Structure 1
Amino acid sequence: MGVGRGRNEKCWCGSGRKFKHCHLHREEQVPLQPWEAEKAFREEFRTPLCSAPTADHQQCSGKIIRAHTVPRSGSLNRIARDGHVYAFVPSLQNLTKYNGKLEPELVGVRSASTFTGFCSTHDDAIFAPLEKAVFSATPEQCFLLGYRAFAREAYTKESAARMLPVQRSADRGRDISDQVGMQMFNKLYEVGIAAGLADTRAQKAEYDRLLLQRDFASVRAYVVEFLEPPPVMCAAGWMPSTDFAGDMLQDLAAPGRLASMSFTSFATGSGGAVVFQWLACDDEVCDRFARSVEAIDDAELSSAMVRLMFEYFENVHISPNWWESLPAETSVSLVERMARSANPFRSQIAKPLLDDGVNVGEWKITRRFRVGVRRNDSQAA
């Protein structure tokens, strides 16, 4: 494949470049060195930019900070030990160290849960109602939890897209058959990145519009409050495909817009909370997911939340005391869940949120409630 291709024709790999400038004699080139890939990874995933709405960029301070998706002072410090929490640190070095599987490692709370995605002015101004007031689950506060989560998702997917040229060059020094296999995988991966990025950009644009208009009427949330801060903290957005009952919610491979939801677990002034947040336009999928959360007994909810976090999110931060107190088989199972769900070469579980018998203990719940009302619910009332 490509062996007899003309030097000036487009390369078979789909890069858009001429064959002579792309894969001609690729098998004779110096292989991509681990330090090259690691350097590119660090640079792309630390690119400084401000994720505030474009229309508001004239107010940027120009000083991009390491913004915390889970607050450091109010949340991470509450579960830290000697200023450290456990986290999964994605890097090529760690993947090599642990044979393709990430293990949680201790990281300082100053760097945990950060991304260089906001300038100092916007990080302070946008999230002031969340960071400088007691959390009372107002529609605005729930919206801001989702806004921050989706800003990070957009930043991460943009960074992954910028890494694609490095991935395309990873077959340097490989024989032709290896080149073909690697480039076929790259094509599938790029299609997935492009689709996910398009959905996330559309979601972020809608959140930008609502933020600028300060319109929080379409905010929906399901909130669970705990007596103490949850020992696993996370801020992420995702597109739920199945719920906790194993029911299909949406086909992620289907064309068109996909429904999205954010998840945040954090400490509050009186204890802790988990907030599932979405917009009214995604009620059809996300309300059904919330109803599956409502159906879980209090005693089983903490295990379900941990199952969700380790299945779909890597931005999790864990209390060292809690993690080290887990039975060995429990922590091994959770690490395996994280590794399996993140590896596209491994077979995935069709209904990953069903109870798998892994119990992490009960986090005492003080209250559950909803924020926002579905249109048909308000009409029925």
Structure 2
Amino acid sequence: MMNPKELKVRLNKVNEELRKKARISECFHHKKEECKGEIKLAHSIQRNGRLSIIEGDVNGNKSIYSFTEVDINLSSHQLELKPIGKAKASTFFGFCDYHDSTLFSPIENKMFDDSDKHCFLHCYRAFAHSQHMKIQQLKAFTSDAEFNKFQAFHLAGRIEGTKIGIANGERVRRRLEQLLDNEDYSGLEYFTIVYDQLFPIASSAAFTPKFAPKSNKKLNYSISSLETYEPVFFTVLPDFEQTIVIMGCLPEHKRSVQFIDEFDSLPSFQQNKVLSSILIGVVENTFIAPALYEALGDAGKRQLIKELEETSMFAPTIYKSLFKSNLNFFQPKYAATNLRIAYN
């Protein structure tokens, strides 16, 4: 039996092997003839001006925390979030140098203006990251990685489910490409919130909501290859004095429209709880500032790890309603000013 230190080394080795075997380097943009330069380690959330806002000092290094990066504390023998550098956060080998630079230049290092174009580009990038991750996931599941030995009983089902998700995503991808080619940035349904204070948290992803946030109606809850999943594009952007939340979906995706409409009808406190629940239990590309993580306290940290474990794709938990977190990241006490986060 391995001691905690040996287990930590083993888990890190297994995870690193899985990452290497899963890695795909390919430009997500459909006009391959335009591609120039190398495939970049692109950020789904821009590194400078967004992630740099929430980084803080951890053991003498500028770091942030990711909800997908955990480690074993050798003192408590408990899982905890592992600090990472912003250069590693939210990255994927998903765009060539040309498309990464030209396509997203309107939103890189520029103030969010709530225009259809800005919302569309954030939605497109969120979807690109999530679809790229699904394709990498399939490659990982079908590889000879040691990790797959630990999930052998469930592996066939997870491979099939991932294939269905990718196929559905490719249909969405083609629709987004049509809108992009026609510069029809109003072709999506959008919903935005702009908080007048900075909450040091960031996310960019696409998710298929299983339940509506108010009526609790089932929306996307099937493993049938005949079922068409309807994603919501989701972004949380930290700014120096505000926090921006963007949701979007295709207008023909009535279940996603219902999710957004019901979310819009909730009082602000419930919206904050639903957002926190999405960030923890639904999407897999969430980052928080060290100051926020420390402000949770020991009990809050344990609750966060518990919820991350319970909502993991590898967990047996089956929810009959929308997952509801016990945490709320959008309380005033977690605003940057109250966390004493200072920026130059």
TM-score under structure 1 length normalisation: 0.74
- In 2, are the aligned partners of 1:88 and 1:103 still within 8 Å (CA)? no
1:38 Cα deviation after fit = 4.4
Quick one: distance in 2 between partners of 1:117 and 1:95? 31
Q: Which of 236, 244, 258 is 1:273 aligned to? A: 244
1:293 & 1:230 partners in 2: Cα distance?
20
1:313 aligns with 2:286: no
Asked if 2 retains the 8 angstrom alpha-carbon contact of 1:134 and 1:269, the reply is no
Given that 2:18 and 2:147 are in contact with CA atoms closer than 8 Å, whether structure 1 keeps it comes out as: no
Conserved 8 A contact 1:278-1:286? yes
Residue aligning to 1:371: none
Does 2:299 match 1:329? yes
CA distance in 2, matches of 1:146, 1:203: 12
CA separation in 2, counterparts of 1:208 and 1:352? Answer: 31
Contact residue 230 and residue 266 of structure 1 kept, 8 A = no
Correspondence 1:224 to 2:193:
yes
How far apart, in 1, do the equivalents of 2:281 and 2:195 lie? 22
CA RMSD of aligned residues (A): 3.0
Partner SS for 2:80: coil
2:229 counterpart of 1:258: yes
Alignment partners' CA distance in 2, 1:325 and 1:171:
36
Distance 1:102 1:313 in 2: 20
Match of 2:213 in 1: 244
For structure 1, the residue ranges without an aligned partner over 5 or more in a row are 1-32, 173-177, 365-381
Distance 2:13 2:88 in 1: 23
244-253 or 226-235, larger mean C-alpha shift: 244-253
Residues 43 and 91 in structure 2, CA contact (< 8 A), matched pair in contact too:
yes
Counterpart residue identity of residue 46, structure 2: P
Residue deviations 1:91-131 (CA, integer Å, cap 9, x gap): 8xx58999xx9632111111111111111111111111222
Whether 2:33 is the aligned partner of 1:58: answer: yes
Question: Does residue 215 in structure 1 map to residue 184 in structure 2?
Answer: yes
Q: CA deviation at 1:307?
A: 1.2
* Residues 1:272 and 1:345: Cα distance change in structure 2 (over 3 Å): closer
Equivalent in the alignment of 1:286: 256
**Residues 237 and 262, structure 1, Cα contact 8 Å, conserved in 2:** yes
Q: How does 1:161-180 map to 2 (within 5 A)?
A: 161-166=138-143
Deviation, structure 1 residue 183? 4.8
Equivalent position of 1:352 in the other structure: 322
| DSSP-derived class of the 1:190 partner | helix
SS of the residue 1:166 aligns to: coil
Bigger radius of gyration, 1 or 2? 1
1:240, distance to aligned residue in structure 2 (A): 0.9
Letter of the 2:228 partner, please give it: R
Contact 1:229–1:266 (CA under 8 A) maintained in structure 2 = no
Counterpart residue type for residue 233 of structure 2: S
Partners of 1:331 and 1:65 in 2: how far apart? Answer: 34
Q: Cα gap change, 1:158/1:96 in structure 2, threshold over 3 Å: closer, same or farther? A: farther
Q: 2:20 matched to 1:43? A: yes
- Residue 103 of structure 1: SS of its match in structure 2? strand
Q: Mark the CA change 1:146 to 1:97 in structure 2 (over 3 Å): closer, same or farther.
A: farther
Alpha carbons 2:236, 2:246 under 8 Å: kept:
yes
For 2:269, give the aligned amino acid: A
Q: Give 1:88's aligned amino acid.
A: F
Letter in 1 for 2:45: V
Cα deviation 1:334-380 (Å, max 9, x = unaligned): 221111111434222221334x544445259xxxxxxxxxxxxxxxx
Distance 1:226 1:345, change over 3 A: closer
Give the one of 32, 36, 55 matched to 1:80: 55
Q: Offset at 1:302?
A: 2.7
Give, in whole Å, the separation in 2 of the partners of 1:235 and 1:102: 24
Identical-residue share of aligned pairs (%): 20
1:192 correspondence with 2:171: no
Describe the shift of the 1:268–1:88 C-alpha distance in structure 2 as closer, same or farther (beyond 3 A): closer
Q: Distance in 2 between the 1:60 and 1:110 partners? A: 23
Q: Distance in 2 between matches of 1:336 and 1:35?
A: 20
- Cα distance in 2 for partners of 1:260, 1:72 equals 25
Equivalent position of 2:45 in the other structure: 70
How far does residue 191 in structure 1 lie from its aligned partner after superposition?
1.0
Letter of the 2:47 counterpart:
R
- Taking the aligned partners of 2:148 and 2:291, their CA distance within structure 1 comes to 43
Q: Deviations over 1:232-262 (max 9, x none)?
A: 2100001111122223223333423211111
Partners of 1:96 and 1:204 in 2: CA distance: 41
